[in-house]
Amino acid sequence: MPLSSTLVAIKAINLNQFKVEFDNIRCTTKTMSLLSHPNILNVHCSFIVGRRLLMVMPCMFGGSLQSIISSSFPEGLPERCITIVLKETLNPLSYLHNQVNLHRDIKVRNISNGCGALSLRILGGDSLAYDTGYIVSRSMWSFDITALELAHGRPPLSHLPPSKPSDRCGNNGGGADDIEEELG
């Protein structure tokens, strides 16, 4: 490989999985290309082929924190590591909020490790949203769930089928007490 070459990753997203209009995708990818923060994984460019969104971005050799935790820390990260990860995740979240944008998909698998530097990935047509004033709490709730996943090696209520955790956290009972009870 020539010295001037840059290794990149291409993320392919099947748009059939999302109920998002092409205009929304175009707006999101445009916004993503304008973001400039050391802890946000940049997108060099993106394009649509058929019903697939292809995003060209830096290759993160360390992988996602989800893969690191599942392979080496199944019971969760040490507290000192959690502190660093949360700080390095709050920095780009604060940046996004100051730019009047929200990350709507904060989770351990969207935090990448690239040679010791953590980056928050913003992927998919529905990950980034313009803040309408009330969605910030959703972003912070996701951040809290991410903290629990870092500490315990899995998200709260992950033993339930995918539709069940949200049912238990809604108005029909459950919520924080169930999470606390499950995680001990």
Q: In angstroms, rounded to a whole number, what is the distance separating the alpha carbons of residues 157 and 160?
A: 6
Helix H or strand E segment including 120:
strand 117-120
Please compute Rg for the chain using Cα positions: 17
Tally of CA atoms within 13 A in the half-sphere of 164 that contains its CB: 8
Query: Domain 60-153 has what CATH class?
Result: mainly alpha
Q: What is the pLDDT of residues 84-119, one digit of tens each?
A: 999 988 888 888 888 777 676 788 888 887 766 778
Pick the closest to residue 36 from 101, 78, 95 (CA basis).
95
Q: 137 or 125, which is more confident?
A: 137
Running DSSP on this structure, what letter comes out for residue 61? T
* Alpha-carbon dihedral sign for residues 9, 10, 14, 19: positive
Annotated catalytic residue within 23, 105, 126, 167: 105
Q: Find all residues with CB under 8 Å of 43, minimum gap 6, and list them.
A: 29, 32, 33, 55, 56, 57, 122
* Domain residue ranges in the chain: 60-153
Residue type, 118: L
Q: Which pTM was predicted?
A: 0.70
Q: In angstroms, rounded to a whole number, what is the distance separating the alpha carbons of residues 157 and 110?
A: 19
> Beta partners for 14?
52
| Count of beta carbons in the 10 Å neighbourhood of residue 123 | 19
pLDDT-based confidence at 174, cuts 50/70/90?
very low
What is the reported pLDDT for 119? 80
pLDDT-based confidence at 171, cuts 50/70/90?
very low
144 counts as catalytic: no
Q: Is residue 70 over pLDDT 70? A: yes
Residue type, 124: G
What is the reported pLDDT for 179? 47
